[in-house]
Amino acid sequence: MTGMPEPGRPTGSDPLVITGYGHYFPEDRRALDGFPALRPGHPEQAVVGHAVPNSRHVCAPGEGVEELALAAGRQALQDAGRQPNEVDLLILSSWTNPIPLPARAPAVAARLGSSRALAFDLNAACLGFLLGLRLAGEHLRSNPSSVVLLVAADRFSQRVRPGSRGELVCGDGAGAVVLESGAAEGSTVLDVALRSEGELAGVVTVRGKGQWITSREDVAEVASGAMIARATEVLERCGLGLPDIDWAVPHSGTAQVLESLHGRLGLPPEQVLTNYQHRANTGSATIPSSLSEFRRSGHLRAGDLVLAPSVGSGWYSGAMLLRM
């Protein structure tokens, strides 16, 4: 990234600002607290960890990525005080749609009432939200008066093999943000660090007739190491360190990933915010939905400095610094 303009700076000194947040989870919330911990040495323990979340959300029949995106997008627009017809660009991050064509973003824009918006799909697996921020920043850099709606929506429950332990740690949900530049009031994206490493493409894959997700046993170690590397990079680029951070809001792949990340990050557990325990892993929706939920609950307040690292199959890694 050396020599590139700061990703969080659309036009010189004009910041990239989140002016609205939204999230949505299906009504079908399934309790998981009755499932026993895996025994030591179980083949799935290295991937999903010792325990499962308390609950996860699953889409109802007829409810899919579009419906998830619409609900979160509407909430974000309302929070920003914007109307759907004011949206100039709509980016939909999703990797769990079972049908590759047609793209879903144009349909989401049409149903939302954002008919004049350019809309496109983005697939960077669980890193999609952070990559979407970078793309939004580049758009606003050349179109500073634009309004961008970035939505991350994943129906993760349909990408795990029925009966596997993975089925207990993956849920459905969506998170959304409205992005603007200049003097708009809101949360300032200070920087976004991104990296792709094709040599690690086999860490997480989708295989078989059912297109079930499969992870290598070292996924937690690889994921936590990559998130720490990008977190260190983005902090150094901004002249900051971990002591400056108020909150970490990481992508929560599994309990095993979170445990490994906690150990390497060095922050007290009470400074790490995630909705994994109640929502499970919702793919690229994890970070935006967590930001929206914890802002609404009052945990995240104006002025707080937030570090949000993530990874995604590809292999991708990234981290964002956000001033609430």
Residues serving a catalytic function are 126, 251, 281
Q: Do 320 and 133 contact (CB within 8 A), yes or no?
A: yes
How deeply is 320 buried, as exposed, middle or buried, from its count of CB atoms within 10 A (0-12, 13-18, 19+)? Answer: buried
Can you count the helices (H) and strands (E) in the chain? 8, 13
Question: Please, which residues bridge with residue 248 across strands?
Answer: 272, 307
What is the Cα–Cα distance from 69 to 233, expressed in whole angstroms?
Answer: 31
Q: Residues 279, 283, 288, CA angle at the centre, nearest 5°?
A: 75
Nearest by Cα to 92 from 149, 164, 172: 149
Neighbour-count burial for 106-124, b at 16+ CB within 10 Å, e otherwise: bbbbeebebeebbbebbbb
| Tokens encoding 204 | 């997480």
Query: Distance of CA 127 to CAs 92, 194, 255, 289, Å?
Result: 12, 9, 18, 14
Please name the residues in contact with 34: beta carbons below 8 A apart, sequence gap of 6 or more: none
* Amino acid letter for position 22: G
